[in-house]
Amino acid sequence: MRLSTADQNPDHQIDALLRAGVDRENIHIDKASGAKASRPGLDLVFQLLREGDTLKVTRLDRLSRSVLHLVTLGADLRERSIGLHVIEQGIDTSTTEGRAMFGMH
């Protein structure tokens, strides 16, 4: 998950991820406001993800701040056979509809 500002409360995102079945120890937080800001938590998650895993985020804007970065991340996930579940936007690439919605074939 990503917090845009230092004073942003992470509770909403944490609660949503826990309800979606994410174990607390698998929740990683980055505090970054800009599109190019360092994302050590996201980097760690991408190192930990393995084929067949699913990356869960509350919203796409918590995963990426730019369309280009989002497209790159989506391609990486697809190539590694890793699913993406965007909880609040109802995108789940384990379904045909979710793959079409996210542009994954």
Residue the block writes with tokens 């697809």: 78
Q: Which pLDDT score is estimated for 36?
A: 57
Exposure letters 25-47 (e unless 16+ CB within 10 A, then b): eebeebbbeeeeeebebbeebee
Look up residue 91 and give its DSSP letter.
Answer: E
**How much is the pLDDT for 37?**
60
User: What are the tens digits of pLDDT across the range 2-16?
Assistant: 666 556 777 888 898
Q: Active-site residue 4, yes or no?
A: yes
Rounded to an integer, what distance in angstroms lies between the CA atom of residue 24 and that of residue 52? 20
Given 4, 38, 64, 94, the catalytic residue = 4
Point out the residues of the chain with pLDDT beneath 50: 105
